[in-house]
């Protein structure tokens, strides 16, 4: 090797060591152009009700910023050509090597944005949120996270329509649906003790109610246990039903009741699958929880880019806000939220 070249390379190496180490602390170096996530495989999105229980798998690669780092990943879908301006989240987690969802769950999510029983062009992307450290406000901190997205993958998707039961005389237009078309219906409904309701199958023209304590064809109206949001489940083959409270609310020292119940209840939007509330808050923090209890609650993830079970309190400054919550998984208690100041 040329002696001058060797000296030059040695000098460059020493300079690199000087920047890499300071006071015996190793500092990471970031790629100028980090390697963004990519799609490896995308399943066929010709969705069929008969395959509702089947599992679909999306496989991707991890973001590579040039050093070992953790990230949260969001698999998102949007109407093709909209640049993900109004995207829905299909799945989220700390890895994107295998993101799984059942056909019926995916169908329900896509129905919020795409017409039923038609072929639609769907844009997909994997969005990664990376945080290096916290507290300084610099790029890569919780206040200014690093976000890297895959190239857009456009696919054709066919979403099937769902059989439904309409609530009659409940006070608002609402229904519950059957993801598998097997006579089992469920959904979130807003009920009032002052408005007993029946259920009608608009396709078969059959009305359901109760006879005594039993679910029955042509039965009398059902009275809600209390006022608020419920998860209503019906089996028209077994003629059974359940009404379980499902009331998502805000609690915390920024809210009118502080950390005491009752929480500030949110309303559900069936079209978008989100919970929302417009509320005036003071400087402080809050969390989301269900039915005024801590068995189900959402707070900040460590990197503040998503919500997880029993996470940290969410800080907020005083003002009037519209807060929107998307529950990405009820079972594992994960989600995302937006707080827009009015």
Q: Is 113 left (phi over 0), alpha (psi -120 to 50) or beta?
A: alpha
Residue 50, number of CB atoms within 10 A of its CB? 11
| Same domain assignment for residues 69 and 152 | yes
| Same domain assignment for residues 232 and 253 | no
State how far the Cα of 111 lies from the Cα of 89, in Å rounded to an integer: 12
Residue 113, number of CB atoms within 10 A of its CB? 19
DSSP three-state, residue 49: helix
pLDDT in tens, 253-309: 999 999 999 999 999 999 889 999 999 999 999 999 999 999 999 999 876 678 999
Of the two residues 6 and 30, the one the predictor is more confident about is 30
CATH of the domain at 119: 2.60.40.10
- The whole-number pLDDT of residue 309 equals 94
pLDDT in tens, 180-200: 999 999 999 999 999 999 999
For tokens 């099937």, what's the residue? 160
The total domain count for the chain is 3
| Same domain assignment for residues 149 and 47 | yes
Of 64, 159, 70, the C-alpha closest to 106 is 159
Position 15 pLDDT exceeds 50:
no
- 326 falls within a domain: yes
Residue 85, number of CB atoms within 10 A of its CB? 8
Mean pLDDT value across the chain: 88
* Entry pTM: 0.77
Residue after which a domain boundary falls, among 203, 221, 245: 245
State how far the Cα of 188 lies from the Cα of 214, in Å rounded to an integer: 21
State how far the Cα of 2 lies from the Cα of 14, in Å rounded to an integer: 19
Residue after which a domain boundary falls, among 101, 127, 159: 159
Banded model confidence at residue 142, pLDDT cuts 50, 70, 90: low
- 184 falls within a domain: yes
For tokens 């909209």, what's the residue? 82
Helices (H) and strands (E) in the chain, counts: 2, 29
State how far the Cα of 54 lies from the Cα of 59, in Å rounded to an integer: 16
| Same domain assignment for residues 51 and 149 | yes
Residues 99, 62 contacting (CB under 8 angstroms):
no
Position 2 pLDDT exceeds 70:
no
CATH of the domain at 259: 2.60.40.3620
Residue after which a domain boundary falls, among 245, 272, 293: 245
Determine the structural domain holding residue 71 and report its residue range.
39-159
pLDDT in tens, 59-71: 999 998 877 777 8
List strands edge to edge, sheet with 214-217: 214-217, 206-211, 198-201, 164-168, 175-177, 184-191, 228-235, 240-245
pLDDT in tens, 76-120: 999 999 999 999 999 988 888 999 999 999 999 999 899 999 999
- 218 falls within a domain: yes
- 276 falls within a domain: yes
């Amino acid at each position: 090797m040329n002696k001058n070249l060797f000296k030059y390379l040695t000098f460059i190496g020493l300079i690199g060591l000087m920047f890499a180490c300071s006071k015996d602390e190793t500092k990471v170096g970031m790629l100028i152009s980090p390697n963004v996530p990519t799609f490896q495989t995308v399943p066929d999105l010709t969705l069929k009700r008969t395959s509702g229980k089947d599992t679909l798998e999306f496989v991707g690669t991890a973001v590579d910023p040039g050093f070992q780092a953790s990230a949260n990943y969001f698999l998102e879908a949007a109407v093709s050509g909209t640049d993900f301006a109004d995207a829905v989240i299909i799945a989220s987690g700390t890895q994107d090597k295998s993101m799984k969802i059942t056909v019926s769950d995916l169908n329900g999510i896509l129905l919020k944005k795409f017409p039923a029983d038609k072929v639609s062009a769907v844009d997909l992307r994997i969005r990664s949120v990376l945080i290096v450290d916290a507290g300084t406000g610099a790029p890569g901190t919780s206040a200014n996270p690093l976000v890297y997205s895959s190239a857009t993958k456009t696919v054709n998707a066919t979403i099937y329509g769902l059989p439904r039961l309409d609530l009659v005389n409940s006070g608002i237009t609402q229904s519950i649906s059957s993801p598998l078309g097997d006579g089992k219906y469920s959904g979130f409904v807003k009920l009032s003790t002052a408005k007993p309701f029946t259920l009608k199958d608009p396709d078969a023209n059959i009305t359901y109610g109760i006879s005594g304590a039993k679910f029955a064809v042509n039965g009398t109206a059902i009275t809600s246990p209390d006022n608020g949001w419920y998860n209503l489940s019906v089996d028209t083959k077994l003629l059974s039903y359940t009404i379980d409270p499902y009331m998502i609310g805000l609690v915390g020292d920024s809210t009118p009741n502080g950390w005491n119940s009752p929480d500030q209840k949110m309303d559900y939007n069936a079209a978008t699958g989100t919970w929302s509330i417009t509320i005036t808050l003071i400087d402080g923090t809050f969390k989301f929880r269900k039915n005024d209890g801590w068995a189900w609650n959402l707070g900040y993830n460590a990197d503040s880019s998503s919500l997880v079970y029993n996470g940290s309190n969410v800080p907020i400054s005083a003002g009037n806000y519209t807060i929107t919550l998307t529950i990405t998984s009820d079972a594992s208690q994960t989600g995302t939220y937006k707080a827009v100041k009015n």
